Amino acid sequence: MVCAKFGLAKADFRLKQIEYVLRFPSDDATSLRMRSNDGIIDPWGNLWIGTMNDFPITKKEGVLPEGTLYRIDASDMSVKIMLENTQISNGLAFNKDGSKFYWTDSLTFTVWQFDYNNETKELSDRKPLIDMRNVFPEQDSPEPDGLSRSNDGVFYHAVFGTSLVIRYNSDAEVLHKYVLPACRITSTALGGANDDKLFITTAHLHLDEFDVSIDPEDRAGDLGGFLYRCDLPDKVNSSAKALWAGK
């Protein structure tokens, strides 16, 4: 299953085909402007997925606050709108019991935290957790991208355009910065056999140029587009990824 341009789909990567099983509840004109971005499975097995402007729109008009954060219920595939008028949904996480929800809107440069009630399916008490402009005052656009959160409440957050992953706690105290030989840092994952690895995805500088020829053997200059592994000095108490609870 993949989150695609118009909704949730079954994908066959060998045949390079997708078949939609659910479409987001938007009109045709809006659907053409949007695509899926980052998402997460919550502790109860439901899918949360954010949409944003698709590439042809962003090239012409930039990113507009037309996005939506949806919750897709695993039991009946019903769709609930959780947040509207978003820009770039990224970096989602729950705490261990699911009572706290963390969500990144990259162009606000902020990670937002909410209280979450799974009985009512409602978010409340929205407030900023960390604003990357305070962490990177010298940067014009320090965009928080994908993140991981440990069971200890420690975040490992990729910051697009900075060459850095930052580690910070639930009090927004920055504990460490991991420097990579790539500018566009996109997401993180925690794990490894001994629970002491940080995996980091990056984007190539020419990602937006669809007709460009990229040589993966070229190790000169910016090394975006590679997957990196960082060996950490201690175990991180990583949280297991939740699984989709539907069929």
Bind-site residues for a divalent metal cation = 90, 145
Residue 76 bears catalytic tag: no
Buried b (16+ CB within 10 A) or exposed e, 46-61: bbbbbbbbeeebbeee
Q: What's the CA gap between 104 and 63, in Å, rounded? A: 15
Catalytic entry in 145, 196, 208, 231? 145
**Residue 217: what residue type?**
E
13 CB burial (10 A radius; 0-12, 13-18, 19+): exposed
Q: Pick out the residues of the known binding site for substrate.
A: 35, 37
Is the CB of residue 86 less than 8 Å from the CB of residue 100?
no
User: Using alpha carbons only, how large is the chain's radius of gyration in Å?
Assistant: 18
**Residue 67: what residue type?**
G
Q: Pick out the residues of the known binding site.
A: 35, 37, 90, 145
According to DSSP, the residues that pair with 102 across neighbouring strands are 93, 113
Residue 152: partners with Cβ closer than 8 Å, 6 or more residues away: 236, 237
Which residues are catalytic, by number?
A: 145
